[in-house]
Chains A and B, each alone.
Chain A
Amino acid sequence: DTGVSQDPRHKITKRGQNVTFRCDPISEHNRLYWYRQTLGQGPEFLTYFQNEAQLEKSRLLSDRFSAERPKGSFSTLEIQRTEQGDSAMYLCASSSTEKLFFGSGTQLSVL
Chain B
Amino acid sequence: AQSVAQPEDQVNVAEGNPLTVKCTYSVSGNPYLFWYVQYPNRGLQFLLKYITGDNLVKGSYGFEAEFNKSQTSFHLKKPSALVSDSALYFCAGRSFTGGGNKLTFGTGTQLKVEL
> B-contacting residues of A (Cβ < 8 Å)?
3-4, 31, 33, 35, 40-45, 48, 55-56, 58, 91, 93, 98-105
CB contact between B49 and one of A42, A48, A99, A105 (< 8 Å): that residue: A99
> A-contacting residues of B (Cβ < 8 Å)?
4, 32, 34, 36, 41-46, 49, 51, 90, 92, 100-108
Contact A104–B107 (Cβ < 8 Å): no
- By a CB distance below 8 angstroms, the chain B residues around A56 are 100-102
Most interface-central of A40, A100, A105 (chain B CB within 10 A): A100
Given contacts A101-B46, A102-B43, contact A33 B105 (CB under 8 A): no
Q: Can you list 11 A-B pairs, Cβ within 8 angstroms, ordered by A? A: A4-B43, A33-B101, A40-B108, A42-B90, A42-B92, A42-B106, A93-B44, A99-B46, A100-B36, A100-B44, A102-B45
CA separation between A41 and B104, bound complex, in Å?
11
B91 to chain A, nearest CB (A): 8
Contact A104–B42 (Cβ < 8 Å): yes
- By a CB distance below 8 angstroms, the chain B residues around A101 are 43, 46
CA separation between A48 and B36, bound complex, in Å?
19
A21 to chain B, nearest CB (A): 14
- By a CB distance below 8 angstroms, the chain B residues around A40 are 107-108
Contact A43–B32 (Cβ < 8 Å): no
CA separation between A31 and B101, bound complex, in Å?
10
